[in-house]
Structure 1
């Protein structure tokens, strides 16, 4: 809800202490201890044609105060009163800002006023975002997954999570985080001895000293990641579209699972997942629908030529199994029938040239879970079975309805690759060729490469992973990856570039749009 400047100042921000002046008037001297402190920077997300979610976190109960402008000097800024940060939300606040459709760039400035003492203001934190616009124009976004995994936390002596700075230098319009936004099941050790004789030194917090089980412990995983200055700078400049995968809760989890892990006193994964989901929704700039506040799957237009369909492959899945069910049934669910039905209808209705399926798990790569399988593929090159039935139904519908220019983006496997799927190489042949691009990790151990299942005819066009079977390589080894997608506003060609932590181009694929 927008307020007038008079109403805004009526909140107690008087005598020059308002956001627009950035500093308190000389006559108002406040002890620093009375001022709220933004602990985790600011970020935006779930951007549409005329609105965006603005997120921040503060160190105590306080009132969120925001200025919005179309210029970095905040001339003629609009002022808003945001939610109150309370312990019940982990001291986070989210404000759904509307009326942004007439802006190309949105500049925002966030402060908090202490409850009971509106003169006690935090220092301001500033950010910006680029709006999609109504006309075709060039768009650039980046994607990847997997942050602070396998024991590799923030080593400030090595520059922290440098890949976020590298991605920021590409000037993307937005960022797709493809899951494993945290590693709630991955405690950190203060030091890790590396093969080269050096020592990795993790910044430590109480939350990262054990696996997360309580709501506060799950919250602490997000707060830890946001101690990194690279990530905070990135978040303040690049809107995020966030997915979740398994490590937001526990490795390879599924609803109804009972853990056999001595690290956990709470063994009921459904209970852990409920706490994990709440922490995820609190700490990510996700727009929560009143009718379905816990929904993670969603879709977005970014301009008229690009639409993104964000899947949820956790909430509705059945138990991990040998993945050989002969037909679609509850035991073979991954997305679930309703999500697949909704995705098919949304793809049919899309008017965008390019349809991006943001999948938190790959289609053809074999991802094991002991003797069972964690993702779609089941290491059987024959006709679809198990979870492959859902993908077969989706691919068949895309072909039957002549839905063109569908591209899959994913992460999860901790290396980078480009895969082309074609019916002439496949056991299941009722689909049109498509590309799947894999990226990650952002800041986690590097693994791979995984084997490909031949059911849908995938072919490795490019991949980069550790050689000689080395596993869990630290970020200092350089095997950290992200992908970049460029949509040309004139030709409408889509260029997908796989890059490393230094920003070097590893592989580039130019896709020309097809017509139905």
Structure 2
């Protein structure tokens, strides 16, 4: 429907930058350590934490907001930035049950179009009394083969004690990604470091002092629901990230640091920092906060309901996002259903890193996909040896270059399925290891040969420490034509540019181009892949 009183708006970029450019203090955000807004406040509801969109398709998308008090969420959309004609969407009532966050699902949107929206927060007792509208924009996915797709991906935010540094301008890499104006952002996990406290300052090897914005919830490891919520809220103190969220929709997955380093179901921690050591309890709280602070379709997001509690349609993080005839994105969850970390040398391992149900889902959905390219968003790499202590394996590869063992058996089954079903256009994207590289997997080099050649690209971190390269496992025949990594552990963002990747699919030729980039507008490596071609 049309709104009776459209709100004039300047240009799109000036709206986004002007509304979000102030510092946290100038915006009057809640006290940095506060767990939730107070119930009794004067004035109108405020949305100082910005807006986000997520899981956008050709005809729908999710819009997120957080209020500073009880409020009704209302979203208005328009085809133009003037908002002369709008459609209004009545969203959920935001309250303490979701930490005053909520999402609204927009349906029936036109495909391949720029959608302008603004979020209003209404007083529940007087719906005419609303706060200042918070604007945003996003593009819906195309439905025509000739329309290209371009997105960025990375992960690992505020890790190893490196948080929002006001001296460096905060998370500047998000501003650089925003200026590329991608169709969406694929966040490959470690969206927060709930197990990583952020100190007020850190002395760097060259004598400089790194300063962090700090909060009460980031002063210790997260154990309570309030502390997990505070971890997700921390990153939203950064102006660059809020501006990015208002312009670029996200597809988000999680990994280990949303809970605790290298966790697996059923684990009991041996860590003196924790009073609650049952990982299943911590993971349930983390999943609830994760669903509250990101608009994710499978975690209960939708018009008329608050952000997810991990009790949405099915509570899953794994899902497939259709981005038009050129691209499907398969989002994996290599954390929730895995077996215990071990040396990874077993000869029978049906659970693996995905769990049996998710592995079956992945094979089924890959078979159903008619997209030219199938991006498999993996929160951990396949052929890189990621250890958990001196003996156990955290990811898939365990360092034995022979036949598949342990979790490799499940990945081998997926790769075999892709080959035998003649599924073309699979590309694996990941983060996790805090350096960037490109791996080509080929059966002619592999101990296991029943698969078709494919590429895996690694990037990150976005705002965390850099780490040296890890070695390759020869089981699937990887070759690494490009690698950039520090030579020592935990190199700060002040010492090394942060890293992300860009993927561009040409609407005319269908070519997929991967660019591994670093902060400072530098392209480190480029690979062009041809549609339908095997062994490239």
Q: TM-score, normalised by structure 1?
A: 0.93
Query: CA–CA distance in 1 between the matches of 2:68 and 2:203?
Result: 34
Alignment partner for residue 72 of structure 1, among 56, 81, 84? 81
CA distance 1:103–1:500, change in 2 (3 Å):
closer
Query: CA–CA distance in 2 between the matches of 1:19 and 1:340?
Result: 49
Which whole-Å deviations, capped at 9, do the CAs of 1:384-433 have from their partners, x for residues lacking one? 00000000000011111111111000000000000000011110010110
The residue that corresponds to 2:57 in the other structure is 48
The residue that corresponds to 1:14 in the other structure is none
* Cα pair 2:350 2:356 within 8 Å, conserved: no
Query: CA–CA distance in 2 between the matches of 1:281 and 1:170?
Result: 27
1:250 is aligned to 2:260: yes
Structure 1 residue 328, shift from structure 2 partner: 2.4
* Cα pair 1:34 1:114 within 8 Å, conserved: no
Superposition map of 1:469-488 within 5 A: 470-488=488-506
Alignment partner for residue 358 of structure 2, among 332, 339, 354? 339
CA distance 1:508–1:71, change in 2 (3 Å):
same
The residue that corresponds to 2:273 in the other structure is 263
1:114 is aligned to 2:148: no
The residue that corresponds to 1:379 in the other structure is 399
1:212 is aligned to 2:222: yes
Structure 1 residue 86, shift from structure 2 partner: 0.6
Structure 1 residue 32, shift from structure 2 partner: 9.1
The residue that corresponds to 2:23 in the other structure is none
Which whole-Å deviations, capped at 9, do the CAs of 1:85-129 have from their partners, x for residues lacking one? 110001101001101025611000011122324354222111000
Give the alignment's Cα RMSD to 1 decimal: 1.6
Query: CA–CA distance in 1 between the matches of 2:248 and 2:408?
Result: 35
Query: CA–CA distance in 2 between the matches of 1:514 and 1:216?
Result: 48
SS of the equivalent of 2:48 reads: strand
Q: TM-score, normalised by structure 2?
A: 0.89
User: Which structure 1 residue ranges, 5 or more long, are not aligned?
Assistant: 7-17, 23-30
SS of the equivalent of 2:338 reads: coil
The residue that corresponds to 2:100 in the other structure is 91
SS of the equivalent of 2:50 reads: strand
Query: CA–CA distance in 2 between the matches of 1:513 and 1:70?
Result: 33
Superposition map of 1:44-443 within 5 A: 44-102=53-111, 104-136=113-145, 137-288=147-298, 292-330=313-351, 333-370=352-389, 371-443=391-463
Structure 1 residue 460, shift from structure 2 partner: 0.7
Query: CA–CA distance in 2 between the matches of 1:493 and 1:21?
Result: 41
SS of the equivalent of 2:524 reads: strand
CA distance 1:21–1:85, change in 2 (3 Å):
farther
Structure 1 residue 368, shift from structure 2 partner: 0.5
Which whole-Å deviations, capped at 9, do the CAs of 1:304-343 have from their partners, x for residues lacking one? 111111101011011101111112244xx21011111111
Which whole-Å deviations, capped at 9, do the CAs of 1:491-511 have from their partners, x for residues lacking one? 000000000011200000000
SS of the equivalent of 1:288 reads: helix
* Cα pair 1:478 1:500 within 8 Å, conserved: no
* Cα pair 2:41 2:69 within 8 Å, conserved: no
SS of the equivalent of 2:7 reads: helix
User: Which structure 2 residue ranges, 5 or more long, are not aligned?
Assistant: 10-39, 301-311
Query: CA–CA distance in 1 between the matches of 2:299 and 2:156?
Result: 26
Range that drifts further, 189-198 or 361-370: 189-198
The residue that corresponds to 2:523 in the other structure is 505
Alignment partner for residue 7 of structure 2, among 8, 12, 20? 20
Query: CA–CA distance in 1 between the matches of 2:112 and 2:320?
Result: 22
> How many residue pairs were aligned?
491
Query: CA–CA distance in 2 between the matches of 1:20 and 1:192?
Result: 46
SS of the equivalent of 2:273 reads: coil
The residue that corresponds to 2:304 in the other structure is none
CA distance 1:345–1:32, change in 2 (3 Å):
closer
Which whole-Å deviations, capped at 9, do the CAs of 1:12-36 have from their partners, x for residues lacking one? xxxxxx66368xxxxxxxx994222
Which whole-Å deviations, capped at 9, do the CAs of 1:18-75 have from their partners, x for residues lacking one? 66368xxxxxxxx994222213100101011100000011111111121100111112
CA distance 1:103–1:172, change in 2 (3 Å):
closer
Query: CA–CA distance in 2 between the matches of 1:145 and 1:73?
Result: 35
Superposition misfits of 4+ residues, deviation over 3 angstroms: 3-6, 18-22, 117-120, 289-293
Superposition map of 1:450-489 within 5 A: 450-467=470-487, 470-489=488-507
SS of the equivalent of 2:375 reads: strand
CA distance 1:206–1:158, change in 2 (3 Å):
same
Query: CA–CA distance in 1 between the matches of 2:45 and 2:233?
Result: 16
Query: CA–CA distance in 2 between the matches of 1:479 and 1:261?
Result: 32
SS of the equivalent of 2:298 reads: coil
Which whole-Å deviations, capped at 9, do the CAs of 1:440-494 have from their partners, x for residues lacking one? 0010000020100100000111010013xx1101111123100000000000000
1:495 is aligned to 2:513: yes
Query: CA–CA distance in 1 between the matches of 2:254 and 2:230?
Result: 16
The residue that corresponds to 2:19 in the other structure is none
Structure 1 residue 378, shift from structure 2 partner: 0.4
SS of the equivalent of 1:347 reads: helix
